[in-house]
């Protein structure tokens, strides 16, 4: 990996590269060391210890969600195309995703930082929920109130 992958989505594994537990964004890979700095965006596995804990602060996968941590380079899989990247459908219906507090934290950050000047948020709903594909609309202020 090198400078060109900064900001690139990746998958994080624990133990072996086939044991994917999170989706993240590479933030710093400027050195040739054994580790890469990543922002943990989404958990796809259960809670467990992370490979490089921050003693007393970030020691588990749930604690790493929404935070910047170092991850062993051999356990980082760079996502090169859109098909490999997690989609909203994966996030909404994943049976493995259990950290609701982390999800609310990410939603709050997105609502506050990314959708300023927007009154309503349109959210697509899969046909498995209402029997057909449809959209629901949520007020931005209601989302902020819910998340706080």
Show pLDDT as tens, one digit a residue, over the chain (148 residues).
455 667 788 999 998 888 899 999 888 876 667 889 999 988 887 788 899 998 889 998 889 988 899 999 999 988 876 544 444 444 433 334 445 666 777 777 777 777 777 778 787 877 777 778 888 888 888 888 887 7
94 is a domain residue: no
Instruction: Please state the domain count of the chain.
Output: 2
Q: Give the C-alpha separation, 131 to 24, whole Å.
A: 32
Q: Could you tell me if 35 and 6 lie in one domain?
A: yes
**Torsion, Cα of 42, 44, 46, 49 (10° steps):** -60
Q: Could you tell me if 12 and 77 lie in one domain?
A: yes
Q: Could you tell me if 64 and 20 lie in one domain?
A: yes
Q: Could you tell me if 77 and 115 lie in one domain?
A: no
91 is a domain residue: no
The pair of structure tokens assigned to 136 is 């629901």
90 is a domain residue: no
Nearest Cα to Cα of residue 34 among 20, 52, 59: 52
93 is a domain residue: no
Q: Give residues with Cβ within 8 angstroms of 65, minimum separation 6.
A: 22, 40, 42, 43, 99, 102, 105, 106
Domain range holding 65?
Answer: 1-85
Q: Could you tell me if 62 and 117 lie in one domain?
A: no
117 is a domain residue: yes
Q: Could you tell me if 35 and 71 lie in one domain?
A: yes
Q: Is 35 left (phi over 0), alpha (psi -120 to 50) or beta?
A: beta
Q: Provide the pLDDT for residue 71.
A: 93
Q: Provide the pLDDT for residue 109.
A: 78
Q: Give residues with Cβ within 8 angstroms of 12, minimum separation 6.
A: 20, 21, 22, 23, 24, 38, 40, 71, 75, 76, 77
Q: Could you tell me if 3 and 36 lie in one domain?
A: yes
């Amino acid at each position: 990996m090198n400078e060109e992958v900064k900001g690139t989505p990746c998958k994080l594994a624990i133990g072996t590269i086939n044991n994917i537990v999170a989706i993240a964004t590479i933030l710093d890979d400027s050195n040739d060391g054994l580790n890469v700095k990543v922002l943990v965006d989404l958990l796809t596995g259960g809670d467990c210890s992370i490979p490089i804990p921050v003693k007393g602060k970030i020691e588990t996968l749930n604690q790493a969600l929404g935070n910047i941590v170092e991850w062993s380079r051999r356990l980082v899989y760079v996502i090169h195309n859109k098909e490999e990247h997690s989609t909203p459908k994966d996030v909404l219906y994943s049976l493995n995703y259990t950290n609701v507090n982390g999800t609310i934290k990410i939603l709050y950050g997105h609502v506050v930082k990314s959708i300023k000047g927007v009154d309503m948020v349109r959210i697509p709903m899969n046909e498995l929920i209402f029997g057909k594909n449809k959209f629901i609309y949520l007020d931005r202020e209601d989302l902020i109130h819910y998340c706080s």
